[in-house]
Amino acid sequence: MPDLSSVFAEMMKNPPDPNGPIPISNLPETMYGAVLPFFIISWIAVLSRLYVRFWVIREPGWDDYTIIMAALANLSCMVGYIGSVENGGMGTHILYLTQARFRSTMIWLYVSSGGYAVTSTFVKVSLLCQYLRIFRAGKIRITCYVLLVLVSLWGFAYCFLSFFPCIPIRGFWDRTLTTAKCYGLGFGDIKAAKTSFISFAAMNMAFDIAIFLIPMVEYVKLGLGRKQVVALTGLLTLGSVVVLMSILRLWTAVRNHQDTLASMDFTWWFPLTLIISCIELDFAIICASLPIFWPKVVVYLAQIFVTNEVHVTHHSRLDDDADGGPRSGRDYEMDVSRSWRESSEENLTRAASLGKTPKTDYSDPFVVDHVVGKVQERTQVVVEPVPKKTWWRYRK
């Protein structure tokens, strides 16, 4: 492994000001406040999705299993992120870190980088598996299969580079181990590390855009209802945030790798990249889980909030003609609808105004005529033979 002391010696010729202004992204308050809320929301989304798939509709699939892996890997990424802030040197110039603190920083960075690679891979695989459940045929399904293969190969390659940056692995954080061989993301060679970091960010952005564009085929179709348009618009908005974060991550990688010496001060500029990466993963997980559990949430909200107002009106039937006229037993005239206040006042004053108790059901001539059979029944009963049960009818 090349000795990095020569690089640090070159940096010491023009050391950064330890009392200079600190970027807002390097403050612990920013690093926690910008990441933790979305992380909590992503876990709420995952648990809601799993509840619907495993306990409500009871039809889990590969997209659910892979999103579980993505959520667990995102948890390890968050642990490494918090560890690098609390026990590491993220937000501080690398030249002013002690050897013990530099070692701690590299250990937590190893955990965070590995978790990010796994999460980024599995959340893309989960989305593609979810598309395969929706698109049963056609060119879109073939496109999903092609992307699934490419994403799997890409994820395997960069997960390997993240988990095995050096041989042995402890050479990644123990720079005194001169026999270790580091490559790619292991900072064994500055140019190789720069190439690996930028290529990963560029391909990650390309895959995010490709996966984001697949549902657009349904969005541009004619004849969608208002609710479908609103749902797809919300989903595409979340997806656009994921794409934006991946673009910003690539931008930070390119901007900070233009100068070799400046790029080595990664503990100073990397916090912004970490914040963007964590937000990207959280929104990707939310975007993958929202279509699964949101319909159930809409049903619950409809039961909680009043969405329809019902007006109850009271109608009275006039007495039938006593002389057996044309309205006898058949035609009825309904009173005009009155307000609730008028009906209430009438009920309160009826007993006093009439001077007698209201008539009961059996004092109503209409009811009596039906009970004693004076009204001719018009009900017809038809008896049909029961068809025989065969293997293709009435199958239980």
- HEC secondary structure over the chain: CCCCHHHHHHHHCCCCCCCCCCCHHHCHHHHHHCCHHHHHHHHHHHHHHHHHHHHHCCCCCHHHHHHHHHHHHHHHHHHHHHHHHHCCCCCCCHHHCCHHHHHHHHHHHHHHHHHHHHHHHHHHHHHHHHHHHHCCCCHHHHHHHHHHHHHHHHHHHHHHHHHCCEECHHHHCCCCCCCCEECHHHCCCHHHHHHHHHHHHHHHHHHHHHHHHCCHHHHCCCCCCHHHHHHHHHHHHHHHHHHHHHHHHHHHHHHHCCCHHHHHCHHHHHHHHHHHHHHHHHHHHHHHHHHHHHHHHHHHHHHHCCCCCCCCCCCCECCCCCCCCCCCCCCCCECCCCCHHHHHHHHHHHHHHHCCCCCCHHHCHHHHHHHHCCCCCCCCCCCCCCCCCCCCCCCC
Percentage of the chain exceeding pLDDT 70: 67
Report the pLDDT value the prediction gives residue 392, as an integer from 0 to 100: 40
| Alpha-carbon span 241 to 243, nearest angstrom | 5
Q: Which of 158-172, 263-277, 381-395 has the highest mean pLDDT?
A: 158-172
The model's pLDDT over 378-391, given as tens digits with 9 standing for 90+, comes to 666 666 665 554 44
φ, ψ dihedrals at 30, nearest 5°? -70, -45
Percentage of the chain exceeding pLDDT 90: 31
Given a cut of 70, whether residue 148 has pLDDT beyond it is yes
CATH architecture of 20-304: Up-down Bundle (1.20)
Q: Please report, in angstroms and rounded to a whole number, the separation of the first and last CA atoms in the chain.
A: 72
Domain layout of the chain by residue ranges? 20-304, 312-370
Question: In the predicted model, what is the mean pLDDT of residues 319-327?
Answer: 51
Report the pLDDT value the prediction gives residue 389, as an integer from 0 to 100: 47
- Model confidence at 36, pLDDT cuts 50, 70, 90, reads very high
HSE-CB of 128 using CA atoms within 13 angstroms: 23
Q: Which of 79-93, 255-269, 305-319 has the highest mean pLDDT?
A: 79-93
Given a cut of 60, whether residue 302 has pLDDT beyond it is no
Given a cut of 90, whether residue 187 has pLDDT beyond it is no
Report the pLDDT value the prediction gives residue 390, as an integer from 0 to 100: 45
Nearest alpha-carbon partner for 242 in 91, 127, 115, 85: 127
Given a cut of 90, whether residue 342 has pLDDT beyond it is no
Question: Which residue, chain included where needed, has tokens 């920083």?
Answer: 105
The model's pLDDT over 90-131, given as tens digits with 9 standing for 90+, comes to 888 888 888 889 899 999 999 999 999 999 999 999 999 988
φ, ψ dihedrals at 238, nearest 5°? -65, -40
The model's pLDDT over 205-241, given as tens digits with 9 standing for 90+, comes to 999 899 888 877 766 665 666 666 666 677 777 778 8
